[in-house]
Amino acid sequence: MTSHVFPVQVYYEDTDHSGSVYHANYLKFFERAREHALGVDEVVRLLREDGIGFVVYRAELTYREAAVFGDALEIHTTVTLESDYRLMFKQDARRAERLLVAGVIQLACIDRSKELAPIPPSVARRFSPSHK
């Protein structure tokens, strides 16, 4: 899959007392970008019809530079299938192509009973190397 790009506007509410984006808010920005990379309609359908969801298995963030109130950011996301049960999202928060925060988020697929479940074929196909 090519990189998915999701725009984020930094609002005052996103910042801390120093005027920089509060560190945990990058996780929210990345979450929104992942939903769009997966396809919001498909994520909703999987949950409602199939009882399939995704939970964070691992999150690693490296902070290089702070975003500030008023910034227009782009979240760049690439996805790989890590296993039959996990997806790995490499995500970067950028301002005008300048890397601010680099993240690697791994999601595990679960069913209605919160048990590990295989990645659905519709998702696996979307992120397989042969998908264009």
CA distance 93 to 84: 28
Of 97, 88, 81, nearest in space to 30 by CA: 88
Q: Are 1 and 132 in contact (CB under 8 A)?
A: no
- What would the DSSP string read from start to end of 46-105? IIIII--EEEEEEEEEEE-S--BTT-EEEEEEEEEE-SSSEEEEEEEEEETTEEEEEEEE
Is 16 assigned a catalytic role? yes
Say which of 14, 16, 84, 111 is annotated catalytic: 16
Active site residues: 16
